[in-house]
């Protein structure tokens, strides 16, 4: 690893920086209109009583350069935990320095140290630079899988339906 590059776990003091990276990522992915993250929410879910995710930060020559946010999942087929990489982002001015690769290697190391059977993530289908990067690291797309998502009103409607059915039960 280049001596100018340092990777470290985020602390609660890093919440404003984490949010700034998330805002930049949302802009890059053309999803700023979906961004609802706040410092308070990040503080609660990353550093609160029951943290749900972790963040590692990359610094180049002492300056923030990128981040990765991840959490554990579980593979029933492997009967082992895994790591799901929710977001990996490197500031444009720091790209091409090996920072993304170093973050991915760091996550692979965490996964193996924790006994995980896999490290996985999703990539927007139009994001060819990221697809090419991940393939160059040995990752394989799982094209036989389709990601489904419930969120917002649909999530609440399904939860309410389950509550109504339980009450009628």
Angle between the N-to-C axes of helices 128-136 and 99-113, in degrees from 0 to 180, rounded to the nearest 10: 50
Place of tokens 């059915």: 165
Instruction: Note if 134 is an active site residue.
Output: yes
Contacts of 83 (CB under 8 A, 6+ apart): 70, 71, 72, 73, 107, 110, 111, 114, 116, 118, 119, 120
Among 33, 32, 24, 37, CA closest to 93:
24
Catalytic member of 125, 134, 146, 160: 134
DSSP structure class, residue 144: T
What 3-state class would DSSP assign to 130? helix
> Catalytic residue numbers?
134
């Amino acid at each position: 690893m280049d001596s100018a590059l340092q990777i470290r776990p985020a602390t609660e003091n890093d919440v404003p920086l984490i949010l700034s990276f998330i805002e930049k990522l949302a802009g890059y992915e053309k999803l700023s209109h979906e961004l609802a993250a706040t410092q308070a929410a990040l503080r609660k879910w990353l550093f609160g009583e029951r943290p749900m995710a972790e963040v590692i930060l990359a610094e180049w020559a002492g300056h923030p350069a990128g981040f990765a946010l991840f959490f554990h999942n579980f593979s029933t087929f492997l009967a082992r935990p895994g790591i799901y990489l929710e977001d990996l982002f490197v500031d444009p001015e720091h790209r091409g320095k090996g920072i993304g690769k170093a973050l991915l290697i760091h996550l692979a190391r965490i996964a193996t140290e924790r006994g995980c059977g896999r490290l996985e993530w999703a990539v927007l289908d139009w994001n060819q630079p990221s697809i090419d990067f991940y393939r160059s690291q040995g990752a394989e797309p799982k094209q036989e899988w389709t990601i489904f998502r419930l969120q917002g009103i649909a999530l609440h409607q399904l939860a309410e339906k389950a509550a109504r059915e339980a009450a009628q039960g």
